[in-house]
Amino acid sequence: MTILDKIRIVLVNTSHPGNIGSTARAMKTMGLSQLVLVDPLQFPHALATGLASNADDILTKARVVDTLDQALAGCGLVLGTSARVRTLSWEIVTPEQAVQQALTHAQQSDVAIVFGREDSGLTNQELQKCHAHICIPANPVYNVLNLAQAVQIICYEFHKATLTAKPFPDVQEELANHEDVQQLYIHIRKALELLGFHDPEHSKQLMPRVKRMFARIRLEKREVTILRGALKAILLNERRKK
């Protein structure tokens, strides 16, 4: 197993099976092997196999799941691709920066690189599950990349980075994985609602901002345990009062 085996390429709700096959080809040429498909419209499909061009072993091993959370299970770092500026801005990284972060975290856990739908990309809710957003710099007059082209660019950066002798920084503490962080968000939301601080009907931006704040921190597993312990104590205390 190499460090690239810890990199998970995730395609969300892909509509054209040819893009899945072309993605498999892009991955194999650069040494990546983990492909996860979230609710693809058509898969398996002959067109996917044909365009994979002898990378059909990637397709054979590909996991098909129903939800993005299932695709991200066990990942310590999640990076989503986005070509659009969002109302609530997240940390934006270049492909090179994304790969350096990913390979550092891959020493400890799987890393997911998430690509959205061909016509609309990732939803705001899906992007909020990511620690940062990757933006591929392109011609501002015409910056439309095919899905498989975008995957190829990111995979090339991974391959290029592994060719250098430069060591990646050590990760000292065990990082919280995707499930840990999502459970923390649920815990925070419940506590804020019980305290009367958060009304989900009138403060729709509160939880996205909380998620963005913690995404910047890159929480460690021990930190999540401490925070959830404190939140549990708050919830118990408030429920006793009532």
Mean pLDDT in runs of 10 for the chain (242 residues)?
A: 94 98 98 98 97 96 98 97 75 95 93 96 94 92 92 97 74 86 95 89 88 91 95 89 76
Confidence at residue 17, expressed as pLDDT on a 0 to 100 scale: 98
What residues does each domain of the chain span? Answer: 3-163, 178-241
Assigned CATH topology for domain 3-163: Alpha/beta knot (3.40.1280)
Domain 3-163 and domain 178-241, same fold? Reply is no
Question: Which pair of tokens denotes residue 89?
Answer: 């801005």
Q: Max CA-CA distance within the chain? A: 65
Look up the pTM and report it. 0.90
Instruction: State both tokens at 224.
Output: 């999540």
Q: How far is CA 54 from CA 2, 30, 37, 84, 123, in A?
A: 21, 14, 19, 34, 32
Burial of 135: CB neighbours in 10 Å, binned 0-12, 13-18, 19+: middle
Per-residue pLDDT at 160: 95
In CATH, the architecture of 178-241 is Orthogonal Bundle (1.10)
For residue 226, give every residue at least 6 positions away whose Cβ sits within 8 Å of its Cβ, in sequence order, or none.
Answer: none
Question: Which tokens go with 167?
Answer: 């060591």
pLDDT of res. 177: 95
Q: Find all residues with CB under 8 Å of 161, minimum gap 6, and list them.
A: 96, 99, 100, 103
Letter for the amino acid at 176?
A: A
